A and B are shown apart, each in its own frame.
Chain A
Amino acid sequence: MTTSNVIFAIGTLLSWVAWAAGARAVWVLLHMALNAVGYDTRRGMTSLLSAGVTSGACFAITALIPMHAQTKAAPGFRAPLVWFVMPYTAWLGTACFVMALYRIIQGLLAITSEERIGKLKTSGSWVLALLAFVALYKGDSGSKIEIITGGIWLTAPICAAILFFAMAGMAAMVIAGRASTTRGYAKTIITQAALLAGSIVFGLPFAFLVITSFKEDRDMSSPNGIVWIPKVQDTVPYFDKKHPIYEANFQGQTVNGTIILTNPDGTVKIDVTKPLAIRGSTFNAQKSALKEIPKEVPIVSGKTDGVAFEGKIVEEMGDGHRRVAFTKPESLVGKEQIFAPAEVEPVRHVGLKWSNYSEALSFLPPETKSGLVYLKNTLILVVMSVIGTIFSSSIVAYAFSRMRFPGRDPLFAVLLSTMMLPGAVTLLPQFLIFRQLNWIDSLYPLWVPAFFASAFNVFLLRQFFKGIPMELEDAAKIDGCSYLKTFWSVMLPQIKPALAVIAVWTFMGAWNNFMGPLIYVNSPENMPLSYALQLFQGDRGGEPGLLMAFATMCMIPVLAVFFFAQRYFIEGVTLSGLGGR
């Protein structure tokens, strides 16, 4: 037991040393590549060599040490990795311990007594923090430390991936440390690698969103990781003898349905299957008014008596079995056979399941007209908010920046202080006000406040008005312009870029507003997209294809606006003066 513990301890230490030395080697390598000028190449080579050799040796030893590892036979060389699973109190405590030790050593090595006392004082506060974390750790009965021995099997793709991300990360660090403009081929490559790695990480959720919205349900879950290439089921049209589908006219629209009953008077009762919004309605129709249409049935493949076949499913039996009519090979055509679900494989080709989008829309309540009403509400909200914000904020800002009146500065101070006020404080009484106006379940509470100028926008526009030369205004006044006219025709055109920035931000705010609709809107015909999406998630949360399709549709308009007005989004920050200067 003791021996194995000792071996384990040595292994742990060595594995950490190996990883640390490996990281050091990459770091030195990057430095050498990037610092073409003024870097001591010989010293660099020495440290690269020593780090590389140490790392390699430690890996080699640890790989040979028999530790009770998570041994799963995998090809390649196992780079051992030992890890501790600890509660955050233990991690922070360890960090405090290391820091305290570091400061104490620094203090002991210090030259002046002043410095020594300073270092020791800091170490004292680290010790105090350490004690606090130890107390927290002891206080929680659930705390325990677990040691996990694992390892990375260094196959070629994993090595490549690790190297790629290590380089990207290191590059980010090196560049962060340099921030100067050294040119160099190596640097460009490494920066591009870092940027590409970042883009991949940031883009993956987007890719997941879009691809999921095109996937079939069966691809949503896979034990081999995420399915990235959507496939769709091959189908063929088929006239079902047993359960024929008919096209009929019902309430002025063409519907598909099945016959569920033949009435005594010869008419038949039709159960609507499409469109989905009225699915389940039944109505009586003359048989002559019906037109039989083919079903799209899935194609499957499998083996029967050792012969590979393809066929179409002509009946889904109640117990899960399928009746398959063979289509290939020739010898079997015309025959049918019943198979258990596991005996046949669906035939699928790479493709996009566009029907997720139409299906998502058809599941929306009929009074929302396939979601158009949501879009309409959001557009009303956005347009009214933008108009309101721009006009009210600019005119207020104009008065505060260019006009003199008693009480201007105290009022402006009040305006600035409202920026700090959390919305929570005014939320409830505002609800009561809008209730008194009978505005609950309408869009008014969501956009009317925009007409009362927001502090932040006023502040921003005021900065801009201040930058416009006085001469312009004076000239207008001499020409006999009224204040309103001066504001409208002379001053407003001068701050168009700032207005565009505000318009873009207000657009975003109104489009994304969620808590407002959640509190104020109940009926589907008054709901904006953001809230509709949340309800959709509640209703169809288990069907990611539909959900992602709907989410994509909610996103597209914003992304479109972003691409066209990118300048105002990104440069708006600089314009606003928030960039620090």
Chain B
Amino acid sequence: MKSPRFALALACALSALAVIAPAQQNKRDLVVWGISFGPDTKGSEAVVREFSRRHPDVNVRVLSMGAGNMNPQKLMTSIVGNVAPDVINQDRFSISDWASRGAFMPLDDLIAKDQAKDPLCPRQDQYYKAVWTEASWKNHVYGIPTGADNRILYYNKKIFRENADALRAAGLDPDRPPRTWSELLKYGKILTPPLENGQFTRVGFMPNFGNVWLYMYAFQNNASFMSPDGRNCTMDTPEAEQALEFIVKGYDQIGGYEKAKQFESGFLSKENDSFILGKVAMKIDGDWILNDLSRYGPSLEIGVGPAPVPDDRYYHRGKFANEPEQFITWVGGYCYSIPKGARNVQDAWEYIKFATSTEGRMIENTAQKEWEQLRGRSFIPRQQGSMEANEALFKAFKPADPKFAAALRQHIDLMPFGRIRPVTFVGQTLWSNHVKAMETACYHKASPKEALIAAQLVVQRDLDAFFDREQHPIINLAIPLWAGIGTAIVALLVCAVLFLRKKMGRLERSEAWWAYVFISPWTLGFLILTLGPMLASLFFSFTQYDVLNEARWVGFKNFQDLFGADKINVTKSLGNAVYLAGLTVPLTLAVGLAIALLLNQATRGMRFYRTFFYMPAIVPGVASAVLWLWVLTADPNKGLINAGWQQTITNWLGLSPPGWVNSADWSKSALVVMSMWGAGSGMILWLAGLKGISSTLYEAASIDGANPRQTFWSITFPQLSPIIFFNAVMGFIGAMQEFDRVYIMKPSGDGPVGPDDSMLTSNFLLFNNGFQFFKMGYASAIAWLIFGIILVLTFTQFKLAPRWVHYETDK
């Protein structure tokens, strides 16, 4: 330990640390999260640079958390942990969610203060009404909108022209796009040629191709999704139902949703986009496709029009008789917000003002355009939430090609008719359940009405939980805390008194005193880091507590939710853990034992082989997950395993390579295969056990004429059984708590963990609830569920052990 070599290494390491210690800076830090900074984001960089130039005493630090995606868990953890960033670029529809939890700062005061004197200060009247509303919650502004995107109809004029006769025969005009839902369906049907060999050669129109979802059609039909007071989810309305029926009809008339999805998955982006290749005649999409269209399909004859609306709306009939708006679209986008607890609010506000101002937007787009031109690429600006900025950008960067200019103009002109997703704190749940309802209906697993009702129930449960909160009594957490600390102190005092009154010799007493001092690191650690937290977590499991707001006592509700409201996730996570443990533990044991038996032979090079087999086990977990993500890549041209698969199994058996982490059926197998690679750690245990088996046993066996199989099962296996037992217990506990690898290997995004939640483990469920939403109470209930299951499993294993585990002392 204290050999000179070690000391030298330590000295080197420490001196290296001193050299690279960060230099002191006198600037004020401004931490900005969520702007993507990459090779092609010249525009955002220019804004930051210009701001730094104007504010030389501010040091802007942009942190993009993985490809510019904001990681909601990191944001929430940092807000709760009092180390929040100063500015955050956030998807607007989630603003109300954050604001309702008290995680963001209202900006009204800042706006009011600067309104009169600062020309950069955002003014509400500059912004489209819907866009501004989306970034507000309960009449307070929580974000300043930046980009805005709405959806319009794109169509391929060439396909329309080629099918002009057929269209005319059906009474349709080939020179203009469809305007109403029924026209859209008719055009779509005619422009979809019959299948060839069961495959599409082209598709006229797919309702949810592009970026549409049920939301847009429902908005067009005046569906609201939420009651005006925000108390109830109203997904199941005739309006939404009609919209969903339209989507289902759209898919059914071309051969079904599954067929359409297959067709979609056959294409990629950029030059291999199905619309650019002329394989899709019409789609409804946002303005973000314009740049790719102009780069990869400059000669494509595109036409645009407003997204078609229900017939009654277009002709101002029926329930739309009194509505002036003929067309309706859906608008979304981003905004800048200041999280609660930001340390540099003043500079944050300055930055937001600058970045959202028309001037800031111009700087961004100018720089981006310069960059694109330098690389010989065209540039079309994106839409903004501010009318003034939108017009200025259109004027300055109007595309030279009239068809793209027309498309951009169409987008801008429709902005005032954009509707937003409901402003509610359950926005995320509403979104994912509306998608689920749409898919269920499209697959005909339920009627549109049934699907909507099912989705509505899930959302309503979240709403009820929030509003019922008020019923539960507030508890002051200081009371249990001080009660706990008090009890601990009293208990310690009692122990001390008992100790002092105990009759002991002087030496004995001094030895005991020293012993107590010596074990104090553990005692303290146990009280503060183990016992205290355990009791706290038990206490939390009966409360509703998100750290930012006061705690409420809910009794057994969290545990009821485990087996009730959240049953799907809980059973899924437990099922996955059992699946993983059930496959991984025996397989790793077997592979480890096989290698150990081989290595236990007396041949040359054992040290070398032992090192080789053990090496994977010491590779850092993150590094090996990153490596295996590539080894397991589904594309047989890239992934090591699938390349091998393609050349053997596909060749021999005709089974195509699996999708591994991208497929719900294979993602767990991917983890199992990866575990096999690390079987070396078990191998070492086996080896140690094998070396410990007395050779006299084998000699006795060979004298008795035992064959190899008998020898293995009667001597080797029983002698090794304690190791098997130890490994089985530890392996099970480990699999229950699988986290790191899943976090790294799951396809990115904060939706399901792995396809169809197939990689959701119990620990992951706890992490998501605990650190993404800070549902401390519910997460603690999950923790205790995990604890309980591990206890039961371990206990059972210990009970079963005497039946097969052989301990030498038994005799």
Closest 8 CB pairs of A and B: A452-B525, A538-B66, A318-B376, A440-B81, A579-B688, A177-B708, A429-B533, A399-B518
Choice from A281, A376, A453 contacting B20 with Cβ under 8 Å: A376
Report if A176 contacts B (CB, 8 A): yes
The answer to whether B597 touches A176, judged by C-beta atoms less than 8 angstroms apart, is: yes
The answer to whether A539 touches B1, judged by C-beta atoms less than 8 angstroms apart, is: no
Cα separation A407 to B528 with both chains bound (whole Å)? 20
Central interface residue in A400, A535, A579, by most chain B CB within 10 Å: A579
Report if A126 contacts B (CB, 8 A): no
Report if A138 contacts B (CB, 8 A): no
B-contact 0/1 string along A523-549, CB 8 Å cutoff: 111000111011101110100100110
Q: How far is the CB of A440 from chain B (nearest CB, A)?
A: 3
The answer to whether B532 touches A404, judged by C-beta atoms less than 8 angstroms apart, is: no
The answer to whether A208 touches B526, judged by C-beta atoms less than 8 angstroms apart, is: no
Report if B654 contacts A (CB, 8 A): yes
A-contact 0/1 string along B618-635, CB 8 Å cutoff: 111111001111110001
Report if B655 contacts A (CB, 8 A): yes
Q: How far is the CB of B703 from chain A (nearest CB, A)?
A: 12
Cα separation A219 to B375 with both chains bound (whole Å)? 24
The answer to whether A453 touches B522, judged by C-beta atoms less than 8 angstroms apart, is: yes
Cα separation A180 to B698 with both chains bound (whole Å)? 7
The answer to whether B1 touches A440, judged by C-beta atoms less than 8 angstroms apart, is: no
- Residue numbers in A under 8 Å from B17 (CB-CB): 376, 379-380
Report if A255 contacts B (CB, 8 A): no
The answer to whether A428 touches B22, judged by C-beta atoms less than 8 angstroms apart, is: no
Given known A223-B637, A422-B787, A515-B740, contact A198–B529 (CB-CB < 8 A)? no
Given known A199-B609, A522-B74, A579-B692, contact A176–B594 (CB-CB < 8 A)? yes
Report if B263 contacts A (CB, 8 A): no
- Residue in B closest to A192 when the chains form the complex, CB atoms: B603
Report if A59 contacts B (CB, 8 A): no
Query: 20 more A-B contacts (CB under 8 A) besides A420-B791, A431-B81, A441-B83?
Result: A192-B605, A208-B627, A271-B374, A280-B42, A379-B16, A415-B522, A422-B737, A422-B786, A425-B783, A441-B78, A451-B521, A515-B740, A522-B74, A537-B66, A538-B748, A554-B620, A554-B623, A558-B618, A559-B618, A580-B689
- Residue numbers in B under 8 Å from A98 (CB-CB): none
The answer to whether A452 touches B524, judged by C-beta atoms less than 8 angstroms apart, is: yes
Report if B568 contacts A (CB, 8 A): no
Within B637-658, which residues are at the interface with A (CB < 8 Å)? 637-638, 640, 643-644, 646-647, 651-655
Cα separation A180 to B638 with both chains bound (whole Å)? 44
Central interface residue in B530, B629, B631, by most chain A CB within 10 Å: B530
Report if B739 contacts A (CB, 8 A): yes
Within B685-718, which residues are at the interface with A (CB < 8 Å)? 685, 688-692, 698, 702, 707-709, 711-712, 716
Central interface residue in A452, A523, A529, A574, by most chain B CB within 10 Å: A452
Cα separation A573 to B689 with both chains bound (whole Å)? 10
Central interface residue in A179, A369, A415, A453, by most chain B CB within 10 Å: A179
Given known A177-B708, A453-B522, A538-B748, contact A579–B620 (CB-CB < 8 A)? no
Report if A301 contacts B (CB, 8 A): no
Cα separation A396 to B518 with both chains bound (whole Å)? 6
- Residue numbers in B under 8 Å from A302 (CB-CB): none
Cα separation A179 to B600 with both chains bound (whole Å)? 8
The answer to whether B655 touches A83, judged by C-beta atoms less than 8 angstroms apart, is: yes
Cα separation A318 to B296 with both chains bound (whole Å)? 12
Report if B49 contacts A (CB, 8 A): yes
- Residue in A closest to B678 when the chains form the complex, CB atoms: A202
The answer to whether A483 touches B514, judged by C-beta atoms less than 8 angstroms apart, is: yes
Central interface residue in B45, B515, B685, by most chain A CB within 10 Å: B515
Report if A294 contacts B (CB, 8 A): no
The answer to whether A428 touches B638, judged by C-beta atoms less than 8 angstroms apart, is: no
Contact count band on B: 35 or more
The answer to whether B598 touches A172, judged by C-beta atoms less than 8 angstroms apart, is: yes
Report if A56 contacts B (CB, 8 A): no
- Residue in A closest to B708 when the chains form the complex, CB atoms: A177
The answer to whether B635 touches A221, judged by C-beta atoms less than 8 angstroms apart, is: yes
B-contact 0/1 string along A171-185, CB 8 Å cutoff: 110111111110000
- Residue numbers in B under 8 Å from A81 (CB-CB): 652-653
Cα separation A525 to B83 with both chains bound (whole Å)? 14
- Residue numbers in B under 8 Å from A376 (CB-CB): 16-17, 20-21
Central interface residue in B13, B536, B630, B808, by most chain A CB within 10 Å: B630
The answer to whether A179 touches B712, judged by C-beta atoms less than 8 angstroms apart, is: yes
Question: Total A-B residue pairs with C-beta atoms closer than 8 Å?
Answer: 406
The answer to whether B66 touches A194, judged by C-beta atoms less than 8 angstroms apart, is: no
Interface of A is mostly: helix
- Residue numbers in A under 8 Å from B627 (CB-CB): 205, 208-209, 548, 551
Given known A373-B20, A537-B626, A579-B685, contact A318–B377 (CB-CB < 8 A)? yes
The answer to whether A578 touches B685, judged by C-beta atoms less than 8 angstroms apart, is: yes
A-B contact pairs, 14 of them (CB 8 A): A149-B654, A152-B651, A316-B376, A399-B518, A405-B515, A406-B512, A422-B736, A422-B790, A424-B737, A428-B780, A429-B536, A431-B81, A530-B621, A581-B689
The answer to whether B537 touches A426, judged by C-beta atoms less than 8 angstroms apart, is: yes
Cα separation A85 to B654 with both chains bound (whole Å)? 11
The answer to whether A539 touches B630, judged by C-beta atoms less than 8 angstroms apart, is: no
- Residue numbers in A under 8 Å from B794 (CB-CB): 420
Report if B680 contacts A (CB, 8 A): yes
- Residue in A closest to B787 when the chains form the complex, CB atoms: A425
Q: How far is the CB of A484 from chain B (nearest CB, A)?
A: 8
Q: How far is the CB of A164 from chain B (nearest CB, A)?
A: 14
The answer to whether A424 touches B787, judged by C-beta atoms less than 8 angstroms apart, is: yes
Q: How far is the CB of A279 from chain B (nearest CB, A)?
A: 8
Report if A66 contacts B (CB, 8 A): no
- Residue numbers in A under 8 Å from B276 (CB-CB): none
Within B77-101, which residues are at the interface with A (CB < 8 Å)? 77-78, 80-83, 85
Report if B720 contacts A (CB, 8 A): yes
- Residue numbers in A under 8 Å from B502 (CB-CB): 406
Report if A5 contacts B (CB, 8 A): no
Q: How far is the CB of A371 from chain B (nearest CB, A)?
A: 10
Within B568-612, which residues are at the interface with A (CB < 8 Å)? 593-595, 597-605, 609-612
- Residue numbers in A under 8 Å from B377 (CB-CB): 318
- Residue numbers in A under 8 Å from B619 (CB-CB): 555, 558-559
Cα separation A369 to B65 with both chains bound (whole Å)? 18
Segment among B210-218, B357-365, B401-409, B763-771 that sits at the interface with chain A: B763-771
- Residue numbers in A under 8 Å from B597 (CB-CB): 172, 175-176, 179
B-contact 0/1 string along A295-317, CB 8 Å cutoff: 00000000000000000000011
Report if B723 contacts A (CB, 8 A): yes
Given known A191-B603, A318-B377, A551-B626, contact A180–B711 (CB-CB < 8 A)? yes
Within A248-282, which residues are at the interface with B (CB < 8 Å)? 258, 260, 271, 279-282
The answer to whether B630 touches A72, judged by C-beta atoms less than 8 angstroms apart, is: no
